[in-house]
Each structure stands twice: as structure tokens, then as C-alpha cells.
Amino acid sequence: MRTAGDAVNDACREKGAMALVTNKKIGVLMGGLSSERAVSLASGGAMLKALKDKGYSAVGIDVGRDIAERLTAEGIGLAVNGLHGKYGEDGAIQGLLELLGVPYTGSGILASAMGMDKIISKTVFQAYGLHVGPYAVVPRGDATAAAAAMAEFGLPLVVKPSAEGSSVGVSVVRREDQFAPALELAFRYDPEILIEKHIAGMEVQVGVLGERALGAIEIVPKDDFYSYDAKYKEGGSEHFFPARIPETVYRATLDAGLAAHRALGCSGYSRVDFIIDRNGVPFILEVNTLPGMTATSLLPDIARGVGIAFPDLVEEIVRLAVMKNG
């Protein structure tokens, strides 16, 4: 049976080993101003190396508030967006690039903004009939709403900022004395936070490339949950590809991942995170419109699992951006 990876590999062969997707100078945007700066530097560095190894004219750009001037001075014709978190994943840099007339990889302004805002994205997912676990939105200072959420959902529960990634500011609350510190941590990042009912089950993430769900990978964190350390520290988690779930559940999860990608209007690529509960129901957590591209990241893992090497994955992301922008 042919896979999504076969289609990508065929496209690479058809264009020839030496042909480039674009002759424009590529700027790989990385670093930035968010709490995920360190991860972005790793993602951007990996993508920059992949492009250079394939013969592209590419430079790394550590994004600061002078980014417009830097792009102009470098003569960048296409931006590979390796940013994560605020200003990079939330539509901000996308809007600037469009004003400058610089094509870029990944999703556009609206999809990026909705994907970054967990409150908005959950509303969209529910409207499209995807399974969303019970949750409450709590503004800063509203102790009554926080207490009501705990009373309704019971323990354990999950407390998280509404617009952060890489599990920054996320806590799993298993005891009452952990609740107040979890709220304090989440409110450091956003004025509105989410309190979610904890769903016991398996963490599974779907990689989407173009208009294809490539596959689903299972995550077994060594930590209490898939925390920042579990994601980025060597040995912080085990990955199993394909996910060890029944075929019918696997297919349903792939379908849900692609549906979520489309519901937000994403383009290029994404990673969609789920908890598969004990009944085999895939509950969506979020869509990552700019998933990690480090050595331990999941989208590259999924791509390798279907036969797409990392440099080919990066080149395909560039090709999709070129196609989108004519």
C-alpha cells in the first residue's frame, strides 16, 4: 500500500536530485522573543542545515524587533518560519511578512492566531464535531470561577495558559495543595487560563503535511505528563510509531487530525495532539501550526516513519510554501 511518504518521495525524484524548489534567498527565522526561544533556535538551526546541505541559498536570522530591516538588508525572498510561541506562531510575524511581500512557510495569519489561542481553537473544534474534553476559561483574579472548575471536574485536572506552547506553564494537579501554585504559574503567561478535566489515556500526535495525515505517533513521557523536559531533554519520553492502537482507532485519529488542520484553515504542515481515552475516543488537545523541528521532535519522527528523511521534509515544506504563493 502506498503511503503519504511515497508521494513526497516521488515528487522529489520527479524534480531531479539537483533541481531546487526555489532559487530565492531563504531566511530561516529562529529564536525570537517568546518563552520558546531556545527550542526555536534548535528547530531553525536544524532546518537551516538541511537547506544548506541540499544546496539552497539560506541564512539564519535570529528574530528581534528589527526583523523587517534584517529581511530587507539580507534580500530575503522566502522565509522559513522556525519560530515557536508568541510573535512567531500567533499570526504576528505572518502579518509582517505579508506586509513586506515575503512568502513564508506554514499557515497564514488567521489559522496561526486561532491555533495559538486554545480557547478559540477549542470552540472551532467543537463546531466541527471533534471530541473536546470538558474545560473552563478562568480570567486572572476570578477565584470563584477557578473554584467552580475544580468542584465540577474534580482531581486530577490540568491547568494551562491559553496561548503558550511546548507545555510552558502547564501543570497536572493531583492534590488540592497543588491547585493555587498551578494557577499562579499559568497566570504568569496569560491573563486568561484554561482548567481542563484530566482525561486518562494515551498521548498520540498526528503529523499533517500538505493535505495528508502522514501518521500517528504514541508518546510515553517519563515525567508526570508530556512536559517541556519530556519533550526536549534526551530520554524524556519514548516514541512509538505507528501508535500502538487498534487500526480503527488509528484511522479515526488520523481523520480527526486532518479535520482539525482544515478546520483552522492551516496550510503547509502541522502537528495535532490528542489523548486517546480508554474507550478509544480521540480527544483533541491542540493544533501546533509550527511544530518543533529538532532532533527529538515528533513531526520529523513521523516523517521518518513513512520514509521521508528530514532534509526532504524541510524541502517539501518549502515547496508547499512556493506553491501556495505562486
Q: Are residues 260 and 296 in the same domain?
A: yes
Burial (CB < 10 A; 0-12, 13-18, 19+), residue 129, is exposed
Please report the sign of the dihedral spanned by the C-alpha atoms of residue 127, residue 131, residue 136, residue 137.
Answer: negative
Q: Are residues 256 and 189 in the same domain?
A: no
Q: CATH number of the domain at 149, please.
A: 3.30.1490.20
176 is catalytic: no
Pick the last residue of a domain from 197, 227, 245.
Answer: 197
- Among the residue ranges 31-40, 99-108, 116-125, 300-309, the one predicted with the least confidence is 31-40
Q: Are residues 94 and 189 in the same domain?
A: no
36 is catalytic: yes
In a domain, 139, yes or no: yes
Q: Which domain holds residue 62?
A: 4-105
Pick the last residue of a domain from 197, 224, 248.
Answer: 197
- From the CB of residue 156, how many other CB atoms can be counted at a distance below 10 Å? 16
Looking at per-residue pLDDT, the higher value among 36 and 29 belongs to 29
Q: Are residues 42 and 101 in the same domain?
A: yes
166 is catalytic: yes
Q: What is the DSSP string of 39-104?
A: HHHHHHHHHHHHHHHTT--EEEEE--TTHHHHHHHHT-SEEEE---STTTSSSHHHHHHHHHT--B
In a domain, 186, yes or no: yes
In a domain, 324, yes or no: no
Q: How many domains does the chain have?
A: 3
Would you give the end-to-end CA distance of the chain in angstroms? 32
In a domain, 317, yes or no: no
- In what helix (H) or strand (E) does residue 14 lie, and over which residues does it extend? helix 4-15
273 is catalytic: yes
In a domain, 322, yes or no: no
- Among the residue ranges 108-117, 194-203, 204-213, 291-300, the one predicted with the least confidence is 291-300
Model pLDDT for residues 53-86, shown as the tens digit of each residue: 999 999 999 999 999 999 999 999 999 999 999 8
Q: Are residues 144 and 285 in the same domain?
A: no
Residue 215 pLDDT grade (very low, low, confident, very high; cuts 50, 70, 90):
very high
247 is catalytic: no
Catalytic residue among 37, 212, 271, 319: 271
In a domain, 71, yes or no: yes
Q: Are residues 127 and 140 in the same domain?
A: no
Q: Are residues 211 and 300 in the same domain?
A: yes
Q: Are residues 127 and 170 in the same domain?
A: no
279 is catalytic: no
| CB-based contact 253:216 (threshold 8 Å) | yes
Average pLDDT of the residues in 147-157? 96
Average pLDDT of the residues in 281-300? 93
In a domain, 149, yes or no: yes
Whole-number pLDDT of residue 236: 66
Grid cell listed for 28: 530561516
Tell me how far apart the alpha carbons of residues 116 and 92 are, in angstroms, rounded to a whole number.
11
- Among the residue ranges 41-55, 234-248, 271-285, the one predicted with the least confidence is 234-248
Catalytic residue among 203, 286, 301, 315: 286
Q: Are residues 19 and 49 in the same domain?
A: yes
Q: Are residues 205 and 272 in the same domain?
A: yes
Catalytic residue among 90, 203, 273, 315: 273
Q: Are residues 272 and 295 in the same domain?
A: yes
Q: CATH number of the domain at 70, please.
A: 3.40.50.20
Q: Are residues 98 and 30 in the same domain?
A: yes
